[in-house]
Amino acid sequence: MASLVANDSEEVIDLSKVLVQHPNATCYYRVTGDSMTGANMPAGALLVVDRSLRAASGNIVVGILDGAFTVRRLIRTARAWVLHPENPAYKPLVITPEMNWQIWGVVTASIVQSFK
């Protein structure tokens, strides 16, 4: 049997102060779909996205591909950049010069609600 310990003082934590490094360049993005479940980013997760950071291989990014937002891990291979999902049900997207894409921002945190 578990019990809760009463706490006489309640501390309010401002998550923006804890999770946001560059307030003027940071926004939030709500995940739709399940392509990033392996990175603990299920549908409904709230991502903290810093648009001032330069994306590097291995970063999880929010990108715009042919006018649609997508969340993937950015990987640099010997031949190309790849937007890699964290769910084996999805195939990696190899970026080609003909594609209309850009990196919108780098994901710096994921907030997942695990209770209802």
pLDDT in tens, 6-62: 555 677 776 666 676 777 878 889 999 999 999 999 999 999 999 999 999 999 999
Cut 0.85: pTM above it: no
The predicted structure's pLDDT at residue 14: 66
Query: Percentage of residues in the chain with pLDDT exceeding 90?
Result: 62
How far is the CA of 96 from the CAs of 14, 39, 58, 89, 93, in angstroms? 41, 25, 18, 22, 9
Residues 87-105 have a mean pLDDT of 93
Domains and CATH numbers, the chain: 22-111 (2.10.109.10)
Rounded Cα gap, residues 113 and 12, in angstroms? 18
